[in-house]
Structure 1
Amino acid sequence: MGNHLPPGQFETENWPILHQGDIYEFDENTWNFTLFGEVKEEITLSYSDIMKLPKTISTIDMHCVTTWSKFGSTFEGIALRELVELVQLNEGVKYVKIYGYYNGDRYGYSANLPLEALLGDDALFIYRWKDIQRDWQDITPKHGYPLRLIPPASFYLWKGTKWASGIRFMKEDEEGFWEELGYSMTANPFKEERYR
């Protein structure tokens, strides 16, 4: 799908910053990441635990519901599948909710996604990036430092939770932050699934 502009989008070389609420201030001593929900045993990971996991580098196109698209950004992070491998899922898990900090609440933001679509190299919890204009650099706090999900290009970018704090595994789909406000549950930019 590289460099294929979805309908209603325009291309930008910048990575615009859009977010709700306060910018999370990272504190390694208090930050952690939880894998919970439909799992045999809940797991909580420290920042150092996360950073010891295998890394993936992938180039992923980004499409924002506010109509910008950015091609050719390369990210380094932990593939979501690496985190899935740390837990034993209950039978019938088909969805996840990716949580992130929102105004001090570690579970205040969330986005729902189908699990199967996230098991490739294009669903990454990223911490650094580069593009044609920029060499490798950490993502900024405004972009979600220390850990932010970049979803596959088949989802609008609001599904890419900033300041990620955990994954809840689910058997049934469930609305996240923007979905509760009327945004699409499936969010495919190529089908212009912006709102319900």
Structure 2
Amino acid sequence: MGKILPPGQFETENWPILHQGDVYQFDEQTWDFRMFGEVKKDISLSYAEIMQLPKTISTVDMHCVTTWSKFGTSFEGIALHELLKLVQVNRDARFVKIYGYYNGDRFGYSANMPLEALLGDDALFVYRWKDENHEWQDISPKHGYPLRFIPPASFYLWKGSKWASGIRFMKDDEAGFWEELGYSMTANPYKEERYR
């Protein structure tokens, strides 16, 4: 399939760095990943436990609401569907919020998405990447190390929480960090859903 540039976007080979707040300083002793909300039982995973999970490599196109698009970046990480095997999600949970660190608050950043859209190999909690100009390397702290969510290309990249810290399963959709500030709840780049 050829590259399709969403409306209002330009293509770049770079991976620009944009984020709110401080760059999270990873501390393996205090870091964990939580799954909670509409589940039978909350689960908390250490960094070592996360890194023991089966890995997926996917090539995902990234589209940032600030108008850049980067095609053909490969990521290695843990697919969200692998994490679902560890937790019993209630049947009526149809949405998630994926959290990330923001200025020291482990749940300070969040992005909402429908769970159904995240069940493929292109919804990944990543730690390594490569592209035409770079060999495999860890994502940098500014890109969200140690774990960053990369959403499918059908979402703008603000849905990709940096310094990912957990998933809350929800019955009803609920605005995340940027959505509360007026950005689109659905955020489809191909429909140019930038703002509410």
**Contact 1:145 1:163 survives alignment (8 Å):** yes
Q: CA deviation at 1:90?
A: 1.1
Q: Secondary structure at the match of 1:179?
A: helix
Q: Let me know the Cα RMSD of the aligned residues.
A: 0.7
* % identical equivalent positions: 80
- Find the aligned partners of 1:181 and 1:55 in 2 and give their Cα distance: 34
Q: Secondary structure at the match of 2:40?
A: coil
Q: Secondary structure at the match of 1:72?
A: strand
**Contact 1:35 1:168 survives alignment (8 Å):** yes
- Find the aligned partners of 1:62 and 1:132 in 2 and give their Cα distance: 15
Q: Which runs of 5+ in 1 are unaligned?
A: none
**Contact 1:2 1:61 survives alignment (8 Å):** no
Over 4 Å off, 4+ runs:
none
| One-letter amino acid of the structure 2 residue matched with residue 55 of structure 1 | K
- Find the aligned partners of 2:77 and 2:94 in 1 and give their Cα distance: 23
What is the aligned partner in structure 2 of residue 73 from structure 1? 73
Alignment of 1:7-86 (within 5 A): 7-86=7-86
What is the aligned partner in structure 2 of residue 185 from structure 1? 185
| Aligned residue pair count | 196
Q: Which runs of 5+ in 2 are unaligned?
A: none
- Find the aligned partners of 2:146 and 2:82 in 1 and give their Cα distance: 17
TM-score, L = length of structure 2:
0.99
Q: CA deviation at 1:104?
A: 0.2
- Find the aligned partners of 1:171 and 1:194 in 2 and give their Cα distance: 24
What is the aligned partner in structure 2 of residue 166 from structure 1? 166
TM-score, L = length of structure 1:
0.99
Q: 1:155 to 1:59 in 2, by over 3 A?
A: same
- Find the aligned partners of 1:6 and 1:44 in 2 and give their Cα distance: 37
**Contact 1:98 1:167 survives alignment (8 Å):** yes
- Find the aligned partners of 2:104 and 2:93 in 1 and give their Cα distance: 29
